[in-house]
Amino acid sequence: MLKIAFHPCYEHPLKKGHRFPMEKYDLLPKQLLHEGTCTVDNFFEPKIVAETDVLRVHTEEYFFNLRALNLPKSEVRAIGFPLSETLVNRELIITQGSIDACKYAITNGIAMNIAGGTHHAFSNRGEAFCLLNDQAVAAAYLLHHKLAKKILIVDLDVHQGNGTAEIFKHNSKVFTFSMHGEKNYPFRKEISDLDIALPNGTDDQSYLSVLKRTLPKLFKQEQPDFVFYLSGVDILVSDKLGKLSCSLAGCMERDRYVLEFFYANSIPVMCSMGGGYSPDIKTIIEAHANTFRIANNLID
């Protein structure tokens, strides 16, 4: 069964109208339940992540200041959220959700987090709505507990996984692959193990042909035994921030290809959602729901 880490928003940390579409985290599980893709049994509620697990990836100074809501103003500005206990707690739960989802992925083939993909969080600072790097924390957890020997991170959010690249730049056990918009945030990019920068306006055909050329090669070359997939839907032509021209069908084909590829090769995949900023929330939900529909079909 597809297990999905879910984090109820008892209290919205952001006011309505904030440019970050927080409501998708409520609407997406509702949609999946409503259409029958999922039942309540698919979802699980993680607890708060242990300090030791976070500190394999983030510096003590950053983490303790974040938890104490005591970050310098400039760092809070770079994060883009007003810091609050609710927001930080939510992030601690999401991060544990990705760790738990890894264990489900090892058993079931694929598992997901209905949030996460906070790839702009660096070891010592947050940035662009990202406080803690959930997949990086989970990757370090797997290595520490010898649940994986070689990890591949497939980051297909339209923005470069700069935080993830920085965190693992000296770690040969984690291969970071980011395919992103060349002329998009972050404008000063980090160096991943493999970066593919796509020009503005890249359409389905070019996008998918690059991906389908690259993934089998990477798989052969790196021989990962665990994969993280960051399935941001900000590659859509409708996205306010994306600058690429992929369709909903193209985005779905991307997810199908990635998930099927690793599933067919018996490599567990933990998938976090990442970004999506289409003006119509329905488009965002539809694109993210596709990722869950595909995963659910595969492992059912």
Pick the piece of the chain touching Zn ion (CB under 5 A) from 123-131, 206-214, 224-232, 286-294. Answer: 224-232
54-59 long-range CB contacts below 8 Å, 24 or more apart?
54/92, 54/95, 54/132, 54/137, 56/137, 56/140, 56/141, 56/144, 57/123, 57/132, 57/133, 57/136, 57/137, 57/140, 57/167, 58/121, 58/123, 58/124, 58/132, 58/133, 58/137, 59/123, 59/124
Of 176 and 296, which has the nearer Cβ to Zn ion? 176
Residue nearest to Zn ion (CB): 275
Q: Binding pattern to Zn ion, positions 136-175, x when CB under 5 A?
A: ---------------------x-x----------------
The verdict on 24 binding Zn ion (CB under 5 A) reads no
Least distance to Zn ion, CB of residue 185, Å: 8
Least distance to Zn ion, CB of residue 274, Å: 6
Number of CB atoms found within 10 A of residue 243's CB: 20
Of 95 and 272, which has the nearer Cβ to Zn ion? 272
The verdict on 286 binding Zn ion (CB under 5 A) reads no
Q: How many CA atoms lie within 13 A of 131 on its CB side?
A: 26
Whether the CB-CB separation of 203 and 245 falls below 8 Å is answered with yes
The verdict on 232 binding Zn ion (CB under 5 A) reads yes
The verdict on 116 binding Zn ion (CB under 5 A) reads no
The contact set with Zn ion (CB under 5 A) reads 157, 159, 232, 234, 275
